[in-house]
Amino acid sequence: MRKFSSYGPIDPDLHYHAPRQALIDQACWQLIGENPAKGGHYITVWAPRQRGKSWIMQQVLFSLRTDISQNPISKIKNQNGFTTAVLPMEYLKTVNDVNEVIESIATKLKAELALENVEVNTLQEFDRLFLKDVLKKPLILILDEFDALPEGAISGLVGIFRNIYMSRQYQADKPTAEKDYLLHSVALIGVRAVLGIENVKGSPFNVQHSLHIPNLTFEEVTGMFQWYEQESGQTFEPEVISQLFDETQGQPGLTCWFGELLTETYNKHQPTISKRDFEIVYAAATSVLPNNNILNIISKAKQEPHKQFILEMFKTDKKIAFTYDDQVMNFLYLNGVIDHEVVDETRYYLKFPCPFVQKRLFNYFARELVRDVGKLYEPFEDLEDTVTDDNLNIKNLLRRYQGYLQKNRHWLLRDAPRRTTDLRIYEAVYHFSLYRYLAQFLESYGGQVYPEFPTGNGQIDLILKYSGQRYGLELKSYTHQKQYKDSLKQAARYGKQLKLAEISLVFFVEGIDETQRQKYEVPYLDDGTGVTVMPIFVEIGN
């Protein structure tokens, strides 16, 4: 029986997986070429980390090497006599000397192909490996983790590959096996610098085709878990798969990690894995379990200038445009920290890659930036206007938070990060502060609070659980009246999704007087949803 695995490339014989045959075939055909006699393409295979790039290319390699006569790809391969080679580059990430990198790659390639009549010690000599007198057959070369190499080696190697490609194009009248260079095609996996983002002189590899590896689709994720059901006899409640996909958005590494936790680590071996089982797994994955994918994301997000960028992404007043040419965005995107969404097929905006990643980042920065909340109230203070044995008064609870913030801001916000443009404290800091305040307040009463991010961008909600009841708080920064009215309707829709009759819409504002409070803190009953929205303003000062 197979298992779920999130530790490096999977083994199809041992692990549940999505076949992704269309992607594999696409890569094979690009490497072979539309007309194999003329040569294949030089391609980059790219995606954020933990998307399955290496596994896809492993399957490509096996497909190219197969001897099954019914496989149309193998027919083309056999007719033209290709040979293949794959080399991992990760082990060279700490080597800075370009010639040392080149010598190491050349040594491994010569061993892989049993080449004895060529010596390569420098970058300038690297192209010798691919001459017709050296190679016996046209070569399809795959270099994995190519962007682990130092930038000088990357630039030098892709420059050589480009020159070889152009030389072969000038000999287009010759079959691929009769050209001066027999490097039929190249696949560079995990390529970041090759795309020209970090190379101040521009990319020397502008002849490449690009193969992007997307997340798993809902159908692919469902297929893996149906596969498990067939082999194990256990079933999943439909809500489990839907929620797992919503939280991970089909990111392969996280999807398989949750699969492992559900079917092995936290499996109670009941006939059905239930929504409650998922809640237990999700709580553990959020709070106590290490995951290399998440640890890598946090390590990238907490570095400057990335940290300021991530804090800005937590703001709720407007979306941030996405552009791949921005170095910070590019770095964070290819490390799986951020993603983009498209609106009307023409506008691209930043978002977090999935709610689970956003929640882990929110929890991390909340702990880092608000490590100590101090005293919330006096020992003999009467709190009955806020909390009773069976009820929470959300409005009074937020009034208490406002008083707490104003009383303690001199130390609470003393070291808070500020935007470089206007030196204002990031909006996210107030979200973190409120979250930490509510968590400590409710803990002493046996309640809970947890953040939710329904859209991945521009919306932060806090769900409070107390005495068997749920309370929803949607957080916003107040900007103008239109945004206020739009936010009321948006909060009502979200309240309906949560199956709540009432939801609180919390606006952070620098200042507000009692007249404005009386005007704007008025319950709003949404006709379309039947949900009542209670606007509450929290004054944060400046």
Distance CA 145, CA 128 (A): 23
Alpha helices in 33-115 (DSSP H): 53-65, 72-80, 98-113
> What is the sign of the dihedral through the CA atoms of 426, 431, 436 and 441?
positive
Tell me if 161 sits within 8 A of 71, measured CB to CB: no
Tell me if 4 sits within 8 A of 256, measured CB to CB: yes
CATH topology for the 21-212 domain: Rossmann fold (3.40.50)
DSSP labels, 121-156: -SGGGGGGGGBTTT-SS-EEEEEETGGGS-HHHHHH
Render each residue's pLDDT in the chain as its tens digit; 542 residues. 999 998 878 899 999 999 999 999 999 999 998 888 888 898 888 888 778 888 999 999 988 887 433 444 444 444 447 899 999 999 999 999 999 999 999 999 999 999 988 999 999 999 999 999 999 899 999 999 998 899 899 989 989 999 999 999 999 999 999 999 999 999 999 866 455 444 444 444 545 577 888 999 999 999 999 999 999 999 999 999 999 999 999 999 999 999 999 999 999 999 999 999 999 999 999 989 989 999 999 999 999 889 999 998 888 767 888 887 788 888 898 888 998 888 888 999 889 999 999 999 999 999 999 999 999 999 999 999 999 999 999 999 999 999 999 999 999 999 999 988 888 899 899 999 999 999 999 999 999 998 988 666 657 889 999 999 999 999 998 989 999 999 999 999 999 988 999 999 999 999 999 999 999 999 999 999 999 999 999 999 86
Distance CA 539, CA 542 (A): 9
Domain boundaries, the chain: 21-212, 218-289, 300-539
